[in-house]
Amino acid sequence: MSEREIVCADLNRAIDDLRREGFRLDVIYPADDPQAAVLSRGEETVQVATPDAPPLSAGLPEFAPEFVLTRAGETPGRGRAGMLYRDLIPSRLGGRYIASHISIPGGGQVADWVHYHRVALQMIFVRRGWVRVLYQDQGEPFVMNEGDLVLQPPGIRHRVLESSPGLEVVEISAPALHETLADHEMTLPNGENPERGFGGQRFLRHISAETPWIPLRGAEAQETRIVDATHGLACVRVIRPADDPEIRFSKHDGELVFGFVLDGTAALDGREVAPADAFVIPPGEPWRLAAVSPEFRLLHVTTARLDDAA
């Protein structure tokens, strides 16, 4: 097998040139701002990267907690498969987590392929619109609508097929820097085996329209059952106000405490937050939302200590 390396200023142009020569894309990263890729043609392999391509870590980077508040309105960058990515945790908490607000303004067919990721945790939540997707061992394609969520366990093969105009999703992954690896041999759909495990987790599809609202700290929540699917690694819920315009949260003993404002407004410990704002609270710190508007909706994600779960 022959291998060569190419350093280029424009990764997309280099990939397009190699594809015209008959190469196929095997690996690309990072998804939100591709800087490196691997392509192959028979026994030939080419590694392509920009001069600033970040190196992949052999394991999970050390968690670096901090308070983060990211406002809506920042211009997104073009990422993998033509999708637009807005970074919700610029510091990546030491490289441990990435959270992205992803959009497909025009909708239609998505230039995606069957692929997978080597991750400790990954989930996707639909904020606006709908998207049709395929997952390994989960049967025929299905549509995720507003409020729906999937847990993508490590290594599961999947593909995005098409979306509505104006699709918006929130994706959270650990570690922040990870590869998108093509599986050229698998064809989806490939049948059904819904109880199959992947890396100690199970695929989960949460359907908002079928999930009741239950009381939570004076507010109401839709739970997603990710706690069970990850064996306690993560908890994800959507929260809305009930009778009290204040929602209090006790300190969290794990790692990530992440919030994304889906709708409405509130005061986060005195700071106003509005639609599409995101924040991270350091573990061990209680926090509260006050002056919560009636239409307020919050995507709330917490994780355990990933090192303890490994």
- What class has domain 209-309? mainly beta
Closest CA to 78 of 125, 115, 34, 131: 34
Q: Which residues contact 136 (CB under 8 A, 6 or more apart)?
A: 156, 157, 158, 186, 188, 190
Q: Within a 10 A sphere around the Cβ of 6, how many other Cβ atoms? A: 14
* CATH number for the domain whose boundaries are 2-49: 3.30.720.120
Q: What's residue 218's pLDDT?
A: 86
For CATH 3.30.720.120, the residue range(s) in the chain are 2-49
Amino acid at position 78, single letter? R
- Structurally, at CATH architecture level, domain 68-208 sits in Sandwich (2.60)
Render each residue's pLDDT in the chain as its tens digit; 310 residues.
Answer: 678 999 999 999 999 999 999 999 999 999 888 999 999 999 999 999 999 999 998 889 999 999 999 999 876 666 666 678 999 999 999 999 999 999 998 999 998 999 999 999 999 999 999 999 999 999 999 999 999 999 999 999 999 999 999 999 999 999 999 999 999 999 999 999 999 999 999 999 999 999 999 999 889 999 999 999 999 999 999 999 998 899 999 999 999 999 999 999 999 999 999 999 999 999 999 999 999 999 999 999 999 999 876 5
For CATH 2.60.120.10, the residue range(s) in the chain are 68-208, 209-309
Q: What's residue 309's pLDDT?
A: 61
Cα 49 versus chain centre, distance: 23
CA distance 148 to 137: 19
